Amino acid sequence: MKSDINGTHIGYEVLGNTGLPLVLIHGFGLDRSIWRNMLFEYMPDQFVILPDVRGHGESDAPNGPYTMSQLADDLAGLLHILNVDKVIVCGHSMGGYISLAFAERYQQQLAGLGLITSRAEADSETKRESRYNLVERIREKGAVELAESLAPHLSKDETIIRETYERIKQTSPLGLIGASQAMAERPDRRDLLPKISVPALVVAGAEDQIVDLEDAREMSSLFPNAEFFAIPNAGHMPMWENPLVLAKGLLDLIARASH
């Protein structure tokens, strides 16, 4: 499905019809299909909304820069069209940055929050510079520049590296550039975490090369009501590397948010 939201066509799908609606937001360079196998296998009936972030998947990729607030507004627009009010929002990596922007702007709609191999702090100066450097390389050579630099760090599993490489390579360069700018300029949202009183879930991959396990554990302690899940045998892609344990964490969050 595609809907016109804030002047942009946003791709999405809705699965299942049981329980509180759960939104799952994919990470940088990927698309909503990353969640499907885990959902079909372990959470087949759950009411789930899967958006493609602006610039990714089937969504349009207008010229950027994008901002995290704008990406959160896209989600709010989609929920409005779907006539859904209260939701649990979980994001993978960049999807987690969007989830935090949504939590800040639409707190009254939030029934639960999940950060999956993600973080709340802003980019360091070095990280920001490397993003703008990547933006220039993508402008010159296309999405393959990101596929080559990111895919080998997403997992140790060769099949997952190959699969993510192909997906990233097919993503719109304009979308990648707009999203890179949104990530580079996103504010530090650690101050928001103590104010998120709804149930929260922080998921870390024990072998993640991008988000440090101990940093994620520390972040989880900033929430008043968070569970921390360290997923064994998983790097940055637990929905593929260890879907059973990630699904358990999500089902546990849904149960806590439904009380």
Which residue's CB is nearer to ligand MLT, number 215 or number 252?
215
Report how many residues bind ligand MLT under the rule CB under 6 A: 6
**How far apart are CB 210 and ligand MLT at their closest, in Å?**
5
What gap in Å lies between CA 14 and CA 106, rounded to an integer?
21
Determine which residue in the list 88, 143, 183, 202 makes contact with ligand MLT, applying CB under 6 A.
Answer: 183
What gap in Å lies between CA 62 and CA 9, rounded to an integer?
10
What gap in Å lies between CA 171 and CA 179, rounded to an integer?
11
Q: Is the dihedral of CA 246, 183, 73, 139 positive or negative?
A: negative
- Which DSSP category does 213 fall into? H
Each residue of 194-214: b (16+ CB within 10 Å) or e? eebebbbbbbbbeebebbebe
**How far apart are CB 217 and ligand MLT at their closest, in Å?**
18
Is the omega angle on the peptide bond into residue 243 within 30 degrees of 0, that is, cis? no
Determine which residue in the list 11, 21, 27, 51 makes contact with ligand MLT, applying CB under 6 A.
Answer: 27
Instruction: Mark 100-129 with x for binding to ligand MLT (rule: CB under 6 A) and - for no binding.
Output: ------------------------------
Whether residue 94 contacts residue 181, with contact meaning beta carbons closer than 8 Å, is answered with: no
**How far apart are CB 94 and ligand MLT at their closest, in Å?**
3
Which residue's CB is nearer to ligand MLT, number 201 or number 211?
211
Q: Of 179, 177, 201, 210, give the one whose Cα is nearest residue 71.
A: 179
Which residue's CB is nearer to ligand MLT, number 192 or number 251?
192
Which residue's CB is nearer to ligand MLT, number 22 or number 150?
150
Which amino acid is residue 244, in one-letter code?
A: L
**How far apart are CB 83 and ligand MLT at their closest, in Å?**
29
> With binding defined as CB under 6 A, does residue 93 bind ligand MLT?
yes
* 9 three-state secondary structure: strand
**How far apart are CB 107 and ligand MLT at their closest, in Å?**
23
Which residue's CB is nearer to ligand MLT, number 30 or number 110?
30
Instruction: Mark 207-246 with x for binding to ligand MLT (rule: CB under 6 A) and - for no binding.
Output: ---x------------------------------------
**How far apart are CB 151 and ligand MLT at their closest, in Å?**
10
Determine which residue in the list 94, 193, 200, 239 makes contact with ligand MLT, applying CB under 6 A.
Answer: 94
What gap in Å lies between CA 34 and CA 243, rounded to an integer?
11
Helices marked H in 31-124 — which ranges?
36-42, 68-81, 94-105
The residues that touch ligand MLT, with contacts defined as CB under 6 A, are 27-28, 93-94, 183, 210
